[in-house]
Amino acid sequence: MAQSSWAPAASETQASPAAPDAGRTGRFALVRRRVQLPWSITLPLAAGLALGIGSLSIIRLIARPLGLLIISITLAEALEPLVGRFERRMRRGFAIGVAYLLVLAGFGLLGWLVVPTLIAQGGALIARGPAIMQVLEHWLVRADAVTNGSVTQLLSAAQRQVASVVVAIPLQLLSTVTDLLVILFLSIYWLAGAPGMLRFVLSLVPEHRAAKVRQVAHDMGQAMGGYVRGAAINAAIMGVLAFVALLLVGVNYPVALGVLTGLGEPFPYVGPIAAAVPVVLVALLQSPTKALIALGLYCFLQEFEGHVLTPNVMERQTNIPQTLVILAIVVGATLGGILGIIVAIPAAAALHVFVKQVVAPAVRRLTGSTIDPTPEAREALAPSVPNPTPPAPPAARPPGG
């Protein structure tokens, strides 16, 4: 009896091991399913990874031609509005020729207005070249005495680099001229073939999406072309600011140095530094004080251009945020140097339009989101507050009431 009082029932002895077995079986099945799922997609993932690495390698090999193509497309899209206006009155081929002739005429007019003064001041500046070199040598000797020969060591190391650069200048000039011709002809061919390429792309999409695809292509082109307009505005503003500042400080040859500053703006980092060196040397011929003022002035102008002018102008012309402009410049400089910087902003502008008008709506449809961050959508989704009804005036009391 005592033994039977604590012995488990038959039903308990049969049910108690069954439950853990069932639980373990379910967990093992879940583990098996979890292990089998990644293995089932391993081959596609490996193929996608290999394709991505291969694509990056190919892009690295063709980075320079791809950069020239993007610059050509950007230049073509900058002229597209002008070509579109002329196309209403003539064939597209003639409209493209007239647009390019007008651009060349504009540069010719600017040269006619500036070149005489530029030649006069530039000639005087070149004539004072030996004096500039003597002043520079004098300051280098004094600096070398202060630094116990460190300047001489730096100059001897830099002399070998300068010699190699001087030897490579003819090849660099030939390569630059070739690249400019390639960009010119590619931009002309892009303008001539753009309508046909757009018709081909529209033939690949359903008819009810053709209007959206056309609008996205138009907006991407306008964003890329805005980079050229922004660069031209930057160069003009910086050239005028440098001319006015040098004129107020009293540095000689302000027109020539201002034009040199404007010409250096399309080449970020390198162009402004190359323009500042002759400015400081010319001011140094007048007095060390003016040289220090000119150096501080150009440092201020570069800070203003880098943190205020370029982000705001590029945001207005390319319609992309300032943060993306700065990020594009940094990434472009890291990946491709000067060419990468020139290509980065128009590429980022086109990518911004594509993400905003194609990728983001697709993600919203996938997630079921109904929130649109545009200002128009925010106003439409804002809850409407009814105007409060003014209270009715109290009824007039009868006389004697």
pTM assigned to the model: 0.63
Residue length of the chain: 401
pLDDT of 337 over the 70 cut: yes
Question: Virtual CA dihedral for 389, 391, 392, 394, nearest 10 degrees?
Answer: 180
Average pLDDT, the chain: 75
User: Alpha carbon of 330 to those of 111, 338, 342: distances in Å?
Assistant: 33, 11, 11
Mean pLDDT of 62-86: 86
* 259-282 burial: b if 16+ Cβ within 10 Å, else e: bbbbebbebbeebbeebbebbbbb
pLDDT of 161 over the 80 cut: no
With bands split at pLDDT 50, 70 and 90, how would you rate the model's confidence at 10? very low
Q: What is the pLDDT of residue 39?
A: 56
Quick: pLDDT tens for 201-227. 888 888 888 888 898 888 888 888 887
Quick: pLDDT tens for 359-399. 888 888 888 777 766 554 455 444 444 555 555 555 555 55
Query: d(Cα 270, Cα 263) in Å, to the nearest integer?
Result: 11
Q: What is the pLDDT of residue 9?
A: 46
Quick: pLDDT tens for 249-293. 888 878 878 888 888 777 666 677 778 888 888 887 788 888 888
